[in-house]
Amino acid sequence: MQNQIYSRNAQRGMTMYQIMFVLIAVGFMATAAIKLGPAYLDNRVVISALDSIHSDFSAINTQDVTDNEIRGKVQKYFQVNMVSSEIEKSMKITRIKDKVILSFNYELRAPFMGNVDTVIVFNNEVDLAH
């Protein structure tokens, strides 16, 4: 008799409060993925653009390449991949001796829930000369 009571209690399953907690946690994670996912996808496009431009200019002398040519390549890549113009505005080309550094340092503010916003900071750069 004692074993039957113990086994019945052991098989009760989750309570209503536990189910609600799990649903709230899953809902929070889904909301975070939906709201923040596009920013991270855009950053993946920025990284692939930097890799592509680096491979395009690695075979030539980057000192001969003008900033406008670099900007043109980036604009074409971003236009094809529909990247935000705000990210494009953060582009910075720095020339130091024999280095040509292309960088995108930007932050995005995304509304999360209600009056809560998230700020996501991205720092990407590549040396086109090497």
Domains of the chain, by residue range, sit at 11-127
- Specify which of 22-26, 46-50, 72-76 reaches the highest per-range mean pLDDT: 22-26
DSSP structure class, residue 121: E
**Helix spans in the chain (H):** 2-10, 16-57, 67-80, 85-89
What is the phi/psi pair of residue 120, to 5°? -115, 125
- Report CA 23 to chain centroid distance, whole Å: 26
Q: pLDDT confidence of 9, banded at 50, 70, 90?
A: low
pLDDT value of position 82 = 86
pLDDT value of position 23 = 95
Q: Which residue has the tokens 């209690």?
A: 9
pLDDT value of position 25 = 95
pLDDT value of position 5 = 61
**What is the Cα–Cα distance from 54 to 129, expressed in whole angstroms?**
8
